[in-house]
Structure 1
Amino acid sequence: MPTAYRNYVDGEWIESRSGETFEVRNPADTNDIVGEFQASTSADTDAAVEAAVDAQTEWATTPGPERGDVLAETARILEEQRDELTETLTREEGKTLDEAGGEVQRAIDIFRYYAEKARDLGGTVKSPSGTDTELYTKREPLGTVALITPWNYPIAIPAWKLAPALAAGNTAVLKPASAAPTVAWKLLEALDEAGLPDGVANYVTGSGSEVGGTLASHEAVDGVSFTGSTAVGTVVAQAAADDLTRVQCEMGGKNPTVVMPSADVAEAVDIVGAGAFGVTGQACTACSRAIVHEDVYDEFVAGIADYAASIEIGPGLENPDMGPHVTQSELESTLEYVDIATEDGANLETGGHQPEGRAYEDGHYVEPAVVSGVTSDMRIAQEEVFGPVLAVLKVDSFEASVDVANDVEYGLSASIVTQDLSEAHQFTEEIESGVAKVNEKTTGLELHVPFGGYKQSSTDTYREQGDAGLDFFTSTKTVYMNY
């Protein structure tokens, strides 16, 4: 019998009032059931919000260092469970063990970071205009927040939303993605073991329409933080806006890496390959466009095609170079985009098919694909694929490369490979993205600096991570003290 996982509400592990559950299966072997989860209702969600609201005052008035102690203890527990969490993440989401282990460590580091940040929360003191007066600000928790997270980083993203929310004194309801909710459940289990008071953090699984929709429009929720697709994020933001609820949405990307003539082409191939095909291309920051100067275009295309063809595909638990897609629908979407690219006139250099053989029959596997001869007006150059597909575009100048890079609706992450310092600086000035990198892949983020996008990649209201991660979860009160 597969393990049955319950919701976590008001410090108790409870079943949904619906009495129904859904299965989560291993994307590398769909005969392997990772667990059964609650198909929760709006009533279940209301109960979780109510528990969070009831717990808010006590948690908000708990001294910051004490809140930090709970986060630090959570990090210690997660560290003890690192190997188990890594294997669980791989089984439910499909990442290789190396990729999953890195993500679990990131969640641990995030909790340690915000455990210390809980001590620093305060305000600023300013010089008043008059005498016998003090003028200062206080940072106060927002209240009760809803956290809606995706499947592609199923422990890191819940961690980078939950940890700052709790550090700042908020209570929370977490709704993880249904494709990969297990490691988030274990995160709540660690918080419970660490001594988090009842009701401060709650966990509810179920559909986006039933649970996510209820959270986004709930009158008792003071803030909604969402990560996922642009289409869903737009709906979430609009629902929250009806009540003037504070909202933060980080969404899709169509991230470019520009390769200039001064670049070491072999190094550029490695940078682009890692950004495009790591985590099976299932990252909002994945490189999906290589914009290459004509002087090195042919050499780059040959190199990146060889790179993609050499990638070992297999079950994440065997720690290959690349694991499967998370679901059949994600696999089908990737295959469809490869077909669209060739129908639009692009050249399929390698990959883009399901690998053959018994080892791949029960999983959602796809060969990493490289398509060349792409122009900026093609769908493969404009739409987010969310799979291991790289479109290669040719340009004749630096100016043209920036124009092409910016010629999309998204603006999340972008990079350039160059040895020209002027190009590097000009790129970071002119690129329309929230993250700009030089001689580095588009994926990979430091946890102590802000993260977020421009244009359709974000509501561009608040950033996540670092000090900025606390801004969303706090309000500022200005105090005029006369005596």
Structure 2
Amino acid sequence: MQITNYINGQWLDPSGMECFQTINPHSKAILEQIGESTIDDMKAAIDAANAASEGWKHMPSPKRGHYLIEAAKWLADHLEEIAYDLTREIGKTIGEAKGEVNRSIQTLYYYAAEGLQPIGEVIPSSNENILIYTKREPIGPVGLITPWNFPIAIPTWKLAPALIYGNTVVLKPSEYAPKSAYYLMKALDHARIPAGVVNCVFGTQVDIGKTLVDSEKIKGISFTGSTEVGKIIGVQAASKGKKVQLEMGGKNAIVVLKDANLQKAVDSIITDAYSAAGQKCTAASRILIEAEVYNQVKNMLKERTEEIAIGDPHKEGTLLGPVATEKQYDLVQQKMENGKATMNLVIEKNIEMQEGYYIKPTIFETKDPVSEFIDQEIFGPVITLLEINNMNEAIKEVNRSKYGLSASIFTTNLENAQRFIQHVDVGMVHINTGTVFTELQAPFGGMKDSSYGPKEQGKEAIEFYTMSKTIYQSI
């Protein structure tokens, strides 16, 4: 399969003279040689989206939903193939890869159904001869910049609401996982979506993304990635008068109180810390444990970490595969070395010799909640334990982080659960469930350095992809 750009309904070779490679993180084998796109390719995609905007805007939303349904059917027919290649691209276990593809399918169906929902309201007037009502309209062509850790799910949950609400799209996916996004383009092409409504440009050059963000023809930018890059893009886009939606980093905490179901808490911590090799913005990273049960929980986590199945992500039963790229491997290893210099190492699980980018699942503990390590987003299979004395201290430590994406508490005390909900500064709160659990029909997003702008997913996605128009009609 040759991966090419999808521009104005056509599969076009990138115009650059060079190529970039994708690498299987399990075997380090070269997977694809892909042509480098240029600024000219991105400009062509932007022009196509702009030209198609007016016709797509005025197409009835139930008809727009038809294309999403047909694309979902195509993905479902090719689920096994897509999941297999997704695992090869980023090392996510095959079970998680299948789950991600299915999430994309369900997202398309969900937003197809949103095309049948009301998009305005009637407002009472003080004048009996005036009818006041509102309607929502698309903002226009939008640019979507997506990461490698959910290479088909995130493009889908940005693209699906953008389309159903009448916007055209230019997608710039991660260069580390282009094939997953390519499958999504194949699905929409199979659905015979009108030319120019969806466009996708592959490449590694920073200028490609900058061109997308700078273009006056692009009316909104939705970005998912690191906080550092997100802030740069946010300033750049806002200075051009665009709507901005940023989903960035996380340093998510799980609180375990002494009255908790400890087995349930430990099960969730293991899943939240080690699934996808910890490469989720919602992954559990800080584990805050009440003093009375601290040693018990620590020992349970240590024992469970020793039991983790590590290795070939295509094998059923593997929990922990490699991190996605050599760059990510080097970053996590460096951060772990810094952790060893400043904290107590509880366990660094020995693993059989692996050729790929495998990080040993690791648990640290510290008594210093303000250390640099506990403030950093690691984005690997690493957690840090911190002993707390009471509920007030738990809330204080959760809120200490500059991030505010997700937090969880395990307790059987409803009063403590309600206090946690009211006082933690995060966008998603979990009671007796882990930090990574999300559903597509609910809003997704955080506070502080984790998110900026309207939230993603669910009905709240309409806030970013549309603008409200108020109508006063004499009757």
Shift of the alpha carbon at 1:299? Answer: 0.7
The question of 1:133 aligning with 2:133 is answered no
SS across alignment from 1:235: helix
Farther-moved stretch of structure 1 (237-246 vs 35-44):
35-44
User: Pick from 281, 293, 302: which aligns with 1:296?
Assistant: 293
Q: Is 1:301–1:372's contact at 8 Å kept on the other side of the alignment?
A: no
Q: Is 1:280–1:387's contact at 8 Å kept on the other side of the alignment?
A: yes
Distance 2:345 2:46 in 1: 49
Q: Which amino acid aligns with 1:401?
A: A
Corresponding position of 1:337: 335
Alignment of 1:418-457 (within 5 A): 418-457=411-450
Q: Which amino acid aligns with 1:27?
A: P
The question of 1:10 aligning with 2:3 is answered no
Shift of the alpha carbon at 1:181? Answer: 1.3
Corresponding position of 2:72: 75
Q: Is 1:121–1:139's contact at 8 Å kept on the other side of the alignment?
A: no
Q: Which amino acid aligns with 1:153?
A: F
SS across alignment from 1:268: helix
Shift of the alpha carbon at 1:356? Answer: 4.4
SS across alignment from 2:63: helix
SS across alignment from 1:116: helix
Corresponding position of 1:481: 473
Distance 1:97 1:292 in 2: 32
Alignment of 1:208-247 (within 5 A): 209-247=206-244
Corresponding position of 1:154: 151
Shift of the alpha carbon at 1:222? Answer: 0.3
Farther-moved stretch of structure 1 (267-276 vs 136-145):
267-276
Q: Which amino acid aligns with 2:265?
A: A
SS across alignment from 1:29: coil
Shift of the alpha carbon at 1:315? Answer: 1.7
Distance 1:303 1:336 in 2: 27
Corresponding position of 1:123: 120
Corresponding position of 2:386: 393
Q: Which amino acid aligns with 2:213?
A: A
Distance 2:16 2:308 in 1: 44
Distance 1:347 1:83 in 2: 43
SS across alignment from 1:295: helix
User: Pick from 155, 163, 166: which aligns with 2:163?
Assistant: 166
Corresponding position of 1:472: 464
Q: Is 1:6–1:38's contact at 8 Å kept on the other side of the alignment?
A: yes
Q: Deviations over 1:52-97 (max 9, x none)?
A: 0000011111111100111111111111111111101111011111
Distance 1:458 1:352 in 2: 33
Q: Is 2:15–2:35's contact at 8 Å kept on the other side of the alignment?
A: no
Farther-moved stretch of structure 1 (120-129 vs 440-449):
120-129
Shift of the alpha carbon at 1:136? Answer: 0.5
Q: Is 1:335–1:352's contact at 8 Å kept on the other side of the alignment?
A: no
Corresponding position of 1:197: 194
SS across alignment from 2:314: helix
Stretches of structure 2 that go unaligned for 5 or more consecutive residues are none
Q: Which amino acid aligns with 2:183?
A: K
Q: Which amino acid aligns with 1:347?
A: N
Shift of the alpha carbon at 1:208? Answer: 5.5
Q: Which amino acid aligns with 2:102?
A: Q
Q: CA RMSD in A?
A: 1.2
Corresponding position of 1:256: 253
Q: Which amino acid aligns with 1:309?
A: E
What's the TM-score, normalizing by structure 1? 0.96
Distance 2:375 2:246 in 1: 20
Q: Deviations over 1:304-360 (max 9, x none)?
A: 11111211111211231111000111112111122111211x11111277x442xx1
Farther-moved stretch of structure 1 (365-374 vs 409-418):
365-374
SS across alignment from 2:473: strand
What's the TM-score, normalizing by structure 2? 0.98
Corresponding position of 2:370: 377
Q: Is 2:20–2:204's contact at 8 Å kept on the other side of the alignment?
A: no
Q: Which amino acid aligns with 2:319?
A: D
The question of 1:368 aligning with 2:361 is answered yes
User: Pick from 51, 55, 59: which aligns with 1:54?
Assistant: 51
Q: Is 1:7–1:38's contact at 8 Å kept on the other side of the alignment?
A: no
Q: Is 1:352–1:389's contact at 8 Å kept on the other side of the alignment?
A: no
Distance 1:54 1:374 in 2: 58
Stretches of structure 1 that go unaligned for 5 or more consecutive residues are none
Corresponding position of 2:23: 25
SS across alignment from 1:150: coil
SS across alignment from 1:317: coil
Corresponding position of 1:177: 174
The question of 1:268 aligning with 2:278 is answered no
Shift of the alpha carbon at 1:18? Answer: 1.1
Q: Is 1:40–1:210's contact at 8 Å kept on the other side of the alignment?
A: no
Q: Deviations over 1:209-265 (max 9, x none)?
A: 122111111111000000000000001101101111100000000000000000122
Percent sequence identity over matched residues? 39
The question of 1:37 aligning with 2:30 is answered no
Distance 2:378 2:284 in 1: 10
Shift of the alpha carbon at 1:270? Answer: 0.8
Q: Which amino acid aligns with 2:203?
A: G
Q: Deviations over 1:37-56 (max 9, x none)?
A: 23111111111000000000
Cα–Cα, structure 1 residues 403 and 198, in superposed 2: closer, same or farther, change >3 Å? same
Distance 1:266 1:208 in 2: 47
The question of 1:104 aligning with 2:101 is answered yes
Cα–Cα, structure 1 residues 374 and 4, in superposed 2: closer, same or farther, change >3 Å? farther
Q: Which amino acid aligns with 2:339?
A: A
Distance 1:262 1:77 in 2: 48
Q: Is 1:123–1:139's contact at 8 Å kept on the other side of the alignment?
A: yes
User: Pick from 138, 144, 148: which aligns with 2:141?
Assistant: 144
Q: How many residues align?
A: 474
Give 4+ residue runs of structure 1 displaced > 4 Å after superposition. Answer: none
Alignment of 1:396-411 (within 5 A): 396-411=389-404
